[in-house]
Structure 1
């Protein structure tokens, strides 16, 4: 395999500094989902931790390496902010999170509850990134950039080590694609240690920048996004992250909003899981291309469970 920015030895070492509460999340075959999808489906449940997303793995690695620093700032759609607040609180770091005021209230409230200073901007995540960078320059503190900072990718990559160690083999893994930390991290490990596994990235049709960039092998930006999957709704792919993704992903696909909400409902009805839209992207991809996955064993990473209850009820029709 050609070299990415990631390193297997560093990824293995990361497990020693990440709080055990984020490691070894459940991985199990969910047979109840299978009649509706036409293939064997296993779930890697990254919501079973204090911040209810995979981001805690990366934030733990970042915070560990910042020992001795006084403060840190990041932009977040919500989940990274919660994770960095949690990890920073345990290590005496002052954490500032910049987010869009249109981000889910549940995520914003939790960032505040975890002790971080929250600054809201009147725009999307890209504007939040600009503001976070300005704060870092002005205050002389560390800026954490999700997916660009290798720690966020290598923390997420520890999921890949757990997948490779699984007793039951699988044919493909479906990974939500946003900034790229999860996809490049897990993809790197699988290509290095289990190259026979197909790595498929999934993004909403209404936020296609990274997927289009993967297919065109160059950075493609978009003027706007239109999706309920706020956690993956970026407009400006990072060149270094795209370069990594091109080396480890076998495919990148786009799915419709209706498939996302149907996937959320399926995870509720058949797995008892309340998830945010980004976490249902893998189920949506299987649903839209059943022939591709028929007869195969597929793992889908359920990456986050931070969702506003009122919005969730609207989307899935839960009562």
Structure 2
């Protein structure tokens, strides 16, 4: 493999730092999905933890480095579409850190309420995630605190990469993995491990048509920024890819595909009807990709990473048509 920021030895070591409650999440073949999709689908369930997303694998690494040898707690700030903020608040509270989360006012209320419940200071801004990212960076500069930037901070990628170790250890083997693509921590982390230890597995990244910046960047092999996003998958709705993260992604992704909103909703409904799972839109991107290209996956064994389950209940019922 060419030069990359990620290191497999560090990723293995990360498992000793991350709270075990976030490790070894369920992985199982969901037989009920196969008749409807034409392929075997195994589910890596990253919602089965206290923050209901994979993000705490990374924040556990970040926060483990932030308490000094004198025992004094540090202050940290991050921008979040909801899940990173919850994860940083949980990991920070566990270690006595002062956590500030900056989020857009458009973030689902359920996510914001959970951040507050985890004792983080929450600042809301008008605009989207990238606006929140700018504000978090300003707070870090003015207050002299640590800025935790998802995907750019290597710990967020290598924490997510521990999912890849668990996939590689799975029996039986699988043909492809479908990964939600937003900032890139999950895709680069899991992709790095798979290409290092199971290179025959196809790594396919999935993004909404309404938030295509990283996919466009991957396809053109250079950073492409986009205008305002338009997708219910708020967890992956960024406009400005990080160059270093794109460099890592170019080394490990075999493909990056875009899916329609209707397919995302159909995927959410399939998870509910056939797996009994309530998932956020970003977590349904893998099923959406299968639904839009059934021939590609026919007869194969595919893993989809269910990356989050934090969703506004009212919006969820409206999307999937249940009362």
Output the TM-score relative to the length of structure 2. 0.98
Aligned pair 1:89/2:100, yes or no? no
- Give 2:104's aligned residue: 100
In the alignment, the residues of structure 1 paired with residue 35 and residue 228 of structure 2 have an alpha-carbon distance, to the nearest angstrom, of 37
Whether 1:274 aligns to 2:313 is no
What is residue 15 of structure 2 aligned with on the other side? 15
Counterpart selection for 2:128 from 112, 118, 124: 124
Equivalent residue number for residue 157 of structure 1? 161
Structure 1 residue 65: Cα displacement: 1.1
Deviation for aligned residue 1:3:
2.2
**CA–CA distance in 1 between the matches of 2:279 and 2:322?**
13
1:143-199 CA-partner distances (Å, limit 9, x unpaired):
000000000000000000000000110000000000000000000000000000000
What per-residue deviation string (whole Å, max 9, x for no partner) do you get for residues 29-50 of structure 1? 0010011110010000000000
Distance 1:103 1:196 in 2: 38
Question: How many aligned residue pairs are there?
Answer: 319
In 1, Cα distance between the equivalents of 2:3 and 2:271?
Answer: 36
Which residue, 313, 316, 321 being the options, matches 1:309?
313
Please give the TM-score of this superposition, normalised by the length of structure 1.
0.99
For residues 61 and 110 of structure 2, what CA distance do their matches in structure 1 show?
25
- Once residues 51 and 3 of structure 2 are traced to their aligned partners in structure 1, the CA distance between those partners, rounded to angstroms, is 32
Instruction: Provide the secondary structure at the position in 2 that maps to 1:152.
Output: helix
The CA deviation at 1:314 is 0.5
Mapped to 2, the partners of 1:3 and 1:269 lie a distance apart of 43
Q: What residue is the counterpart of 1:48 in the other structure?
A: 48
Please state whether the residue corresponding to 1:106 is helix, strand or coil: helix
Q: d(CA) in 2 for partners of 1:63 and 1:104?
A: 25
Query: Structure 1 CA distance, aligned partners of 2:176 and 2:74?
Result: 42
1:199 equivalent in structure 2: 203
Q: Which residue of 1 aligns with 2:25?
A: 25
TM-superposed deviation, 1:4:
1.2
Aligned 1:1-319 pairs, distance under 5 A: 1-68=1-68, 69-319=73-323
What's the offset of the Cα at 1:77? 0.3
Where in structure 1 do 4 or more consecutive aligned residues deviate above 3 Å?
none
Question: RMSD in angstroms over aligned alpha carbons?
Answer: 0.5
Partners of 1:160 and 1:66 lie apart in 2 by 25
User: How far 1:2 sits from its partner (Å)?
Assistant: 1.1
The CA deviation at 1:223 is 1.1
